Structure 1
Amino acid sequence: METGAEVTLRLRYVSGVSPSKWLRVWGERRPDLPLEAIVVDEAEQLAGILAGEADVAFVRLPVDTEGLHAVALWEELAVVVLPKDHPLAEAESLTLADLEGETTAPVQPEAAMTIELVAAGTGHAIVPHSVARLHRRKDVVAIPVTDAAQTQISLVWRQDRDDADIQEFVAVVRGRGAKSSRGSADDPPPMKPAKAAKLAAAERRAAAAKSGEGKGKGGTSKSGARGGRPAPRTGAGAKQRSRRRGR
């Protein structure tokens, strides 16, 4: 926490974490203490905390938590990023065995660069689902790898900086009210792997369906009729209406 003309709570977070909702809640709850949020490279995710340049950080495990408080938040499903024309690109899910013999793209300092190499055809990359979604492109697909190791996001801060302001921010992140005690039993558990895989597959299907909307003038409307006209009514109800009209 900075001292001087303006005091701020300094937050660092890795790619794939979206802190906007917590920034909004914090701004409403603590307008007296602005929150400074800066994204950092995964390789440097603890640097600011250890140097005293940041107060709290969202990190991707594993990290060395000696001298730190750490609160586990959620698990991230692993996905494989493949070129869109890859023979496995249509699969709903894959296993590590399915990827045996497949070339791995050179890992770059930034995930976006690695995924760009995947798009260029240099191989595949296994990354957290949140990272693949952040850097999604039209020329690659992300497919859940059901038996790949998951990653976990945690909130960390130094043990010697365990003050009321940081505890209030922890409460905001964990969804507790201003008067809730820490460690509430109501904290949501991490998403199960099977549910996360289904969610990722559903997102892919929804994206594919959306890309196919509006093609052609003779498409089928929500009512099941073509050309935008309502479908003709049939059945007993239609016959009764016809008799009332003298047909």
Structure 2
Amino acid sequence: MTGSEDSPSFRLAYVPGVMPAKWVRIWNERQPDVPLTLLSVPAAEASDVLRDGAADAGLVRLPVDRTVFSAIPLYTETTVVVVPKDHLITAAEEVSTEDLADDVVWQPLDDVLEWERLPGKPAVERPATTADAIELVAAGVGVLVVPQSLARLHHRRDLTYRPLVDAPQSSVALSWPEDATTDLVEDFIGIVRGRTVNSTRGRTRPQPEQAGKTAKTEKDAKSGKDAKSGKGRAEAAARRKPPAGARAAKGGAKGAPKSGAKGRGKPRRRS
């Protein structure tokens, strides 16, 4: 388990564009005694951070080395092209890479998309970061293709974006070293997969002693219910069955001779 046994903690790395707030909120509700520390890391460094043990798990961009890391894909992002607000392509709701043929398309060194061939005109250099490329687009030089979350992260009032329908896409996953699947990692897996706190697949469940008490309580409740049910049936039967005196009176009346019937009487005395 991460940290000391007396004061465990959980460290979660995340890459730019990923918003972990919802999962962190659920963690804090379920694990109030285990603080969660967020580590913002560049996408290209996320694997090293996890491999070196600086974080217990990470919200990263695929692909990852599956011989080292486990990964649970969470979602795939829409790819967009970022342009000045007065660019011609803003007249369309979505565009294709062919629509960028006359534009310089920047590819920063921290690009997270895997291109077979970059569209548009080749740039003379590659900006160091996505933020640097955004500045160039804002200056009216070229366009930038990124996952939608990065376009939102670097939002500017003088820029906008449109979906690029035939561009590569980026997928986000929860990843961690395969040989370091701790109890806390399992807890976080349950959160991102939407399991409830009482899920049978989650780690948070009654301890054996508590489970035994629960089973005993349920058994006692069932026994009480059965006893109450049996008592109710006995009372109902008693209400239907007449008292013993009434049965005897009824039987005697039934066996007595009817009024007016001839009897044997006394024997006649001989003279």
RMSD, matched Cα: 1.8
Tell me the equivalent position of 2:192: 173
**Alpha-carbon spacing, 1:121–1:169, altered in 2? closer, same or farther (3 Å):** same
1:182 and 1:77, CA in 2 relative to 1: closer, same or farther beyond 3 A?
Answer: farther
Please name the residue that 2:155 is paired with: 136
C-alpha separation between the residues in 1 aligned to 2:58 and 2:50? 7
Partner of 1:23: 24
> 1:142-181 counterparts in 2 under 5 A?
142-181=161-200
Q: Does 1:63 pair with 2:82? A: no
Asked if the contact 2:82–2:144 (Cα under 8 Å) also holds between the matched residues in 1, the reply is yes
For structure 2, the residue ranges without an aligned partner over 5 or more in a row are 109-126, 203-271
Cα distance change on mapping 1:133 and 1:51 into 2, 3 Å? same
* Residue of structure 1 equivalent to 2:42: 41
- Greater helix share, 1 or 2? 2
TM-score, structure 1 as length reference:
0.69
Q: Cα deviation per residue 1:73-106 (whole Å; 9 max; x = unaligned)?
A: 0000000001112222232100011112310135
Report the Cα offset of residue 4 of structure 1. Answer: 7.9
Deviation at 1:17, TM superposition (A): 0.7
CA drift at 1:158: 0.8
How many correspondences in the alignment? 183
CA distance in 2, matches of 1:181, 1:72: 22
Q: Which whole-Å CA distance do the structure 2 matches of 1:117 and 1:59 have between them?
A: 27
Indicate the SS of the match to 1:45.
helix
The CA deviation at 1:8 is 1.3
Q: How do 1:1-247 and structure 2 match up within 5 A?
A: 1-3=2-4, 6-105=7-106, 107=108, 108-182=127-201
- Quick one: which amino acid aligns to residue 163 of structure 2? P
Which deviations, in whole Å up to 9, do the C-alpha atoms of 1:184-231 show, x marking residues without a partner?
xxxxxxxxxxxxxxxxxxxxxxxxxxxxxxxxxxxxxxxxxxxxxxxx
- C-alpha distance in 2 between matches for 1:179 and 1:132: 38
For the 8 Å contact 1:17–1:130, the answer to whether it is kept is yes
Partner of 1:231: none
Aligned to 2:249: none
Once residues 150 and 201 of structure 2 are traced to their aligned partners in structure 1, the CA distance between those partners, rounded to angstroms, is 29
How far residue 124 of structure 1 moved from its aligned partner, in angstroms, is: 0.6
Q: Are the structure 2 counterparts of residues 70 and 88 from structure 1 closer, same or farther at C-alpha, using a change threshold of 3 Å? A: same
Q: Deviations over 1:138-180 (max 9, x none)?
A: 1111100011111100100111111221111011112111232
Deviation at 1:181, TM superposition (A): 4.8
Partner SS state of residue 62, structure 1? coil
Unmatched tracts of structure 1, length 5 or more: 184-247
Q: Taking structure 2 as the reference length, what is the TM-score of the superposition? A: 0.64
AA in 2 matched with 1:50: R
1:62: how far off? 2.2
Do 1:77 and 1:128's aligned partners in 2 also have CA atoms closer than 8 Å?
A: yes
* Residue type of the alignment partner of 2:84: P
Rounded to whole Å, the distance in 2 between the matches of 1:147 and 1:174 is 29
Cα separation, 1, equivalents of 2:174 and 2:130: 21
In structure 2, distance between residues paired with 1:116 and 1:166: 38
Q: Match for residue 252 of structure 2?
A: none
The alignment partner of 1:112 has SS state of helix
| Alignment check: 8 A CA contact 2:106 2:145 kept | no
SS of alignment partner, residue 46 of structure 1:
helix
Identity of counterpart residues, as a percentage?
42
Amino acid at match of 2:161: A
